[in-house]
Structure 1
Amino acid sequence: MKHFLLFFGILFTLNLTAQEAYKFTTVTDLETTPVISQGATGTCWSFSSTSFLESEIIRLTGKPIDLSEMYQVRNTYPAKAENYIMRQGRTQFGEGGLAHDVMNSVERNGLVPEEAFSGLFFGETTYNHAEMAAVLEAMLKTYVDNPGRKLSKKWRASIESILDIYIGKNVNSFTFEGKQYTPQTFLAMTKIQPADYVNITSFTQAPFYSKFILDIPDNWSNGSFYNVPLDEMIATIDNALDKGFTVELDCDVSERTFSSKDGVAIIPENADNNVKALQGIYPEKKITQDYRQDEFENYETTDDHLMHITGILRDQNGTKYYKVKNSWGTDETRVANGGYVYFSEAYMRLKAISITVHKGALPKNTAKNLSL
């Protein structure tokens, strides 16, 4: 009887511990700009990457600057349209993209501040690209069908006109803090060098320490990624944050265990706890390289959202979490933590598709192995 009562007491204590509410302590919290909303658009790739560049400008110059997200969107759509037409419609076209699409646009088109190009018209306060995206896709499909039997070059001007109508005409010069700039001279002022940023991933379909094109739907521009073992990808995030570099993140947020409303993303060991673990601590699954690969190849892990890693926290048990800035606004009825989501290390190991970092943020051994 005593043994039974002792066992019951231990079980009861463990159950209470398992349901203990999260209590987070900040370890690292790097400076960034305020959380904003991407609205009804699929442009998280631009909002998160722009936030990442804003933190880089703070790191490089000490100056907080609100950059235009829509300037990069406006200048990326023509490249996406060109790709779609030249591939005769046999490729992805939509609102999605990846971090390197922003870096490519910055290199080609420079940077501008939000005040010079908001992408909103008079009276508008939020973004909604649903109609624009549908119009663009319908136009492009018509051009691919080629009803005139000879595709003219007018299609490029037509796409530009639609973008002018819905997002705005491109800006060639502007005044910022009393000085005149072009997008390229403004880029030079920020000290951002697009070539200094690298994409890192961790999958076994390519050799480690090689560079390969990651076959995911939103990689319409065929961007290349450096491939490293999973432990090294996580170590790269940790090393970056420890050295004062924030990290751009492409990840899967389709899981029931990701909740912006609860402000956490976790991978419980027992799937029966998936919902309960959003409010309280439960043991998490150990994520191996093989399990990560299996979940990617069976479509359980998909690339559907880009976010911005800005810090590290620990819960009351010492478990590490990453402070991840989202672009879904700060409405307290919809999001927690002021618009941030705290990713457990297990969630990051399983659901991070890739990261983008300054090459100076790489651990020495990783940089050496990648010849960077």
Structure 2
Amino acid sequence: MKKIIFSFLSIFAANLGYTQAYEFQTIKEINCTPVISQGITGTCWSFSTTSFLESEIIRLTGKPVDLSEMYTVRNTYPKKAENYVLRQGKIQFSEGGLAHDVLNSVAQNGLVPNSVYSGLNGTAEKHNHTELQALLEGMLKVFVENPGKKLSPQWKEAAQAVLDVYLGENPTEFIYDGKKYTPMTFLATSKIDPKAYVSLTSFTNEPFYKPFILNVPDNFSNGSFYNLPLDEFIRAIDEALEKGYTLSLDCDVSEPTFSGKYGVAVVPENETDAKTILTEIKPEKKITQEFRQQEFENLSTQDDHLMHIVGKVKDQNGTIYYKVKNSWGETSGKNGFMYMSVSYMRLKALSVLVHKDALTAATKKSLGL
């Protein structure tokens, strides 16, 4: 009789496990700056990677600093505009970008604090680039059409003038904590070396352990990514976090099981669980390298958002999730953070940016670093 009761309780407990509401416990958390909102802009690439650099500055100097996301945006727009005009409008012109675009800007233009350059227009308290983007794109289309039959070099000045009006003129000198800086001398105090970071990805259409240009729309600057097998790609993320390094993440958030409301990103094994898995623990799909590639090539996986990986949590069953800082404000997700399952990371993470010292010696050797 006891054996029958025990069996019944075991079955009941197992079934109960599939109706459990999530209970999360932090197992790894690396210092990061507070969650903020990107507002009505498509500049998540700058917000996520700037947050990443802020964590790097804490790691390198021990001092937190609030960097300007819009300073990078302001200095990246002219590059996008030139790319669009010289390619005669045969590519997209958008607000989007990737993590390496921030590093490219840092290397060329330095860094400034947000208190020096907020990028907010007039009395605005939130970013809204709807008008700016529409105006710039309209101007650039005129330049591409070239009604004068010979494009005037003043087109670049016109684009710069629009950026100055909407975002503000670039600072050349400023005072911060009582000291005078230029953007480049401020960069020097941050200890950030733009050449010390690498972008990693995992796709089978290119050779492993070699860099290649990832063909996604927001890679307007033709940045290169080191290609790792999927298991090694995930291990690289895990090992970086274990060593105290955070990562900038480019991923697909268009799936219905990426929930800004509930703060979880998961991949249900059964499609019928797509709704309930947002609030209850359900079995997740095993993601292979082949399935990941298939979903990328059929355009089910796209690069539509960048965030910042800052740690790990686990649920009451011991299942691991990545703690990911988002830029949709503190009211989104779990106080602004997303808990992303390993399955979701394996399937939907297009790439990560990380300091090369976070990689193992074996991975460095394989990549020739």
TM-score (norm 1): 0.96
Q: 2: distance between equivalents of 1:8 and 1:190?
A: 61
Q: 2: distance between equivalents of 1:255 and 1:199?
A: 24
The aligned counterpart of 2:300 is 300
The aligned counterpart of 2:291 is 291
The aligned counterpart of 2:232 is 232
The aligned counterpart of 2:151 is 151
Shift of 1:15: 3.2
The reply to whether residue 351 of structure 1 matches residue 348 of structure 2 is: yes
Shift of 1:298: 0.6
Matched residue SS, 1:337: coil
The aligned counterpart of 1:121 is 121
Matched residue SS, 1:369: helix
Q: 2: distance between equivalents of 1:58 and 1:318?
A: 30
Matches within 5 A, 1:132-281: 132-281=132-281
Unaligned runs of 5+ in 2: none
Q: 1: distance between equivalents of 2:11 and 2:162?
A: 64
Shift of 1:11: 5.9
Q: Select 1:338's aligned residue among 335, 338, 353.
A: 335
Q: Are the counterparts in 2 of residues 201 and 228 from structure 1 also a CA contact under 8 Å?
A: yes
Q: 1: distance between equivalents of 2:7 and 2:158?
A: 74
Q: 1:5 to 1:243 in 2, by over 3 A?
A: closer
Q: Which amino acid aligns with 2:184?
A: Q
Of residues 8-17 and 181-190 in structure 1, the stretch that sits farther from structure 2 once superposed is 8-17
Q: Are the counterparts in 2 of residues 235 and 363 from structure 1 also a CA contact under 8 Å?
A: no
Output the aligned Cα RMSD: 1.6
Shift of 1:123: 1.6
Unaligned runs of 5+ in 1: none
Shift of 1:122: 3.3
The aligned counterpart of 1:131 is 131
Q: 2: distance between equivalents of 1:254 and 1:7?
A: 42
Q: Are the counterparts in 2 of residues 199 and 355 from structure 1 also a CA contact under 8 Å?
A: yes
Q: 2: distance between equivalents of 1:9 and 1:93?
A: 60
The aligned counterpart of 1:25 is 25
Shift of 1:364: 1.8
**Percent of pairs with identical residues:** 61
The size of the alignment, in residue pairs, is 367
TM-score (norm 2): 0.97
Q: Are the counterparts in 2 of residues 248 and 357 from structure 1 also a CA contact under 8 Å?
A: yes
Shift of 1:5: 11
The aligned counterpart of 2:63 is 63
The aligned counterpart of 1:39 is 39
Q: 2: distance between equivalents of 1:241 and 1:301?
A: 25
Q: 1: distance between equivalents of 2:361 and 2:276?
A: 40
The aligned counterpart of 1:16 is 16
The aligned counterpart of 2:109 is 109
- The Cα offsets for residues 206-262 of structure 1, whole Å up to 9 and x where unpaired, read as 000011000001001100000000011111111111101000000000000001110
Q: 1: distance between equivalents of 2:359 and 2:28?
A: 17
Q: Are the counterparts in 2 of residues 201 and 354 from structure 1 also a CA contact under 8 Å?
A: yes
Q: 2: distance between equivalents of 1:5 and 1:238?
A: 42
Matched residue SS, 1:338: coil
